Amino acid sequence: MATVVAILDRDTWSARTDVIVIADPLARSLTWVPRDLWSPSLYDRVNGAFALGGTARLISALRELGFQCDHAIVVRRRATEAAAAHLSVDVPVSEPLDFLYPLEPTKRIQEGSKTVSFRPPCERLEGERIHQWVGARRGLSRLDSDFGRILRQQVFLRALLNQGFDFGRVIQDDSLVQLSSGNAIEELRQVRPGWDMTCFDHVRHETIDGMMVLIKQEGEQPERPRRNHPELAAVVLARGAPRRTVAAVRSLLAQNPAVEIMVVNSGGGDMGRLLARHGIDIAVIDCDERLSVSAARTIGVRATRAPYVAFLPADFLAAPGWAKKRLKAHRAGKAAVGRDVLRSALGNPPVLAKRIAIWLRRLMGMPHKRAWGASYERTLLEKHGASWESA
């Protein structure tokens, strides 16, 4: 089962759908459908389907184009604006971005424009800056494609998911939302930061009756040059966004094979911004509330998708070969595997002494008789929970 989420570009039910995303819980994926994709049955762009026949017509138009879609939720612009009114979110910026943007979000660019810019390594989005990030598509020297806009929407959505944004705020006013069934909400509650986010781009550009549209290419969409998803997820556990988390994350980024990394930070601080300042763009969940170790682990397990899950305190480093060796053991049939970690506080004797006292059998070079800092088969954690390993 899959649900399409669509956001209208104006605050009226006769408007076109500006954003179209299909959430598939089984595939753990979110797929953006370009709004300019041509629908032969409508003889119009697919973003006109809802205005012509509501959620049922939107679902059928997407199915005719080959997308699996069972439920739909369509939201008016006013609902998203209300939900974002007091929102503040940090997004990573990989390169300088400059766009022409309407003088106001609801006006046409032909009525006047202004320049908006985003600069590396990170931007804090609030108010109109949110609309500019997710909506701008016209570059200063060229017409930026809708695919560039979609990529920024994906970055924004992942940041919201990592931040723990309450998406229930978007549908608080049921007069601004249309559902095909209650199942749409249930499916969307399953979305997690670790899901794949992609865009359907197996298209060609054409002009039909004066409209610039995208035509779906014949045949199957070619396999994307995406990385294979890692077999091992590493959940980094932090409190108060300590700076030493940067070193812990970098030790994981250096692993071969690559691992899926999720940082769960509780007790305040701004972990996402800390990592962004150091040029690190990974999934982060920030919680103001101070969480127990078991609660933080559970959040990390639910937000990742790799078949094996490991936990790393923010003040430790993963030793060279940390991922490779434990994966070798897992592939040989081991449900739980322990490996070495490195001390990251050699310049701080009191902290180092504390870690040696508590974690002696986890430190690299020590004889191991217990599987401290183990990784587990995901099915084992889902069955027994993530709270039973010693903290």
pLDDT tens digit sequence for 116-172? 999 987 889 999 999 999 988 877 655 556 888 999 999 899 888 877 888 888 998
State the Cα–Cα distance between residues 99 and 115, nearest whole angstrom: 6
Does pLDDT of 380 surpass 90? no
Greatest mean pLDDT range, 39-53, 132-146, 336-350 = 39-53
Poorest-confidence range of 47-51, 69-73, 100-104, 263-267?
100-104
- Predicted confidence at residue 378, as pLDDT, reads 86
Binning pLDDT at 50, 70 and 90, where does residue 216 land?
Answer: very high
Q: Is the distance from CB of 4 to CB of 21 less than 8 angstroms?
A: yes
Pick the CATH number of 232-384 from 3.40.50.970, 2.40.50.140, 3.90.550.10, 3.40.50.720: 3.90.550.10
- Average pLDDT estimate for 283-304: 88
Poorest-confidence range of 23-27, 88-92, 356-360?
356-360
DSSP string, 189-209: TT--TTSEEEE---EEEEEET
Q: Is 297 exposed, middle or buried (0-12, 13-18, 19+ CB in 10 A)?
A: buried
State the Cα–Cα distance between residues 132 and 293, nearest whole angstrom: 38
Binning pLDDT at 50, 70 and 90, where does residue 220 land?
Answer: low
Per cent of the chain over pLDDT 90 is 43
* Nearest alpha carbon to residue 40 among 23, 55, 61, 60: 61
Higher pLDDT, 218 or 349: 218
- Predicted confidence at residue 311, as pLDDT, reads 92
CA angle (74 as vertex; 111, 179 as ends), nearest 5: 160
Does pLDDT of 365 surpass 50? no
- Predicted confidence at residue 228, as pLDDT, reads 57
Binning pLDDT at 50, 70 and 90, where does residue 27 land?
Answer: confident
- Average pLDDT estimate for 2-28: 93
Does pLDDT of 194 surpass 60? yes
Per cent of the chain over pLDDT 70 is 85
Q: Which two tokens mark 308?
A: 């094996």
SS3 36: coil
- Predicted confidence at residue 334, as pLDDT, reads 87
- Average pLDDT estimate for 262-272: 91
- Average pLDDT estimate for 346-360: 48
Q: Which two tokens mark 358?
A: 């508590």
Does pLDDT of 266 surpass 60? yes
Give the β-pairing of 232-239 and 308-313.
parallel
State the Cα–Cα distance between residues 42 and 39, nearest whole angstrom: 5
Q: Which two tokens mark 27?
A: 């595939």
- Predicted confidence at residue 76, as pLDDT, reads 96
Q: Which residues of 271-285 are buried (b: 16+ CB within 10 A; e: fewer)?
A: bbbbbbeeebbbbbb
Q: What is the mean pLDDT of the chain?
A: 84
Give the β-pairing of 97-102 and 138-139.
antiparallel
Residue 38 phi, psi dihedral angles, 5° rounding: -80, 130
Over residues 202-213, the pLDDT tens digits come to: 999 999 999 999
Return the bridge partners of 285, or none. 264
CA dihedral in degrees (74, 78, 80, 81; nearest 10)? 170
Poorest-confidence range of 213-217, 262-266, 296-300?
296-300
Greatest extent of the chain over all pairs of C-alpha atoms, in Å? 75
Binning pLDDT at 50, 70 and 90, where does residue 36 land?
Answer: very high
State the Cα–Cα distance between residues 238 and 44, nearest whole angstrom: 50
* Nearest alpha carbon to residue 33 among 18, 55, 43: 18
Poorest-confidence range of 48-52, 68-72, 167-171, 372-376?
372-376
Run of H or E including 287: strand 283-287
- Predicted confidence at residue 176, as pLDDT, reads 96
State the Cα–Cα distance between residues 57 and 351, nearest whole angstrom: 62
Considering the entire predicted model, what is its pTM? 0.62
The DSSP output letter for 3 is: E
State the Cα–Cα distance between residues 245 and 314, nearest whole angstrom: 5
Binning pLDDT at 50, 70 and 90, where does residue 23 land?
Answer: very high
Does pLDDT of 293 surpass 70? yes
- Predicted confidence at residue 355, as pLDDT, reads 47
**Is domain 3-80+166-216 in CATH 3.30.420.590, yes or no?**
yes
- Predicted confidence at residue 235, as pLDDT, reads 94
Comma-separated ranges of CATH 3.90.550.10 domains in the chain: 232-384
Higher pLDDT, 215 or 380: 215
Q: Is the distance from CB of 232 to CB of 306 less than 8 angstroms?
A: yes
Comma-separated ranges of CATH 3.30.420.590 domains in the chain: 3-80+166-216
Give the β-pairing of 375-377 and 308-313.
antiparallel
State the Cα–Cα distance between residues 346 and 359, nearest whole angstrom: 14
Q: Which residues of 162-181 are buried (b: 16+ CB within 10 A; e: fewer)?
A: bbebeeebbbeeeebbbbbe
Binning pLDDT at 50, 70 and 90, where does residue 92 land?
Answer: confident
Q: Where are the alpha helices (DSSP H) in 104-219?
A: 128-135, 146-163, 183-188
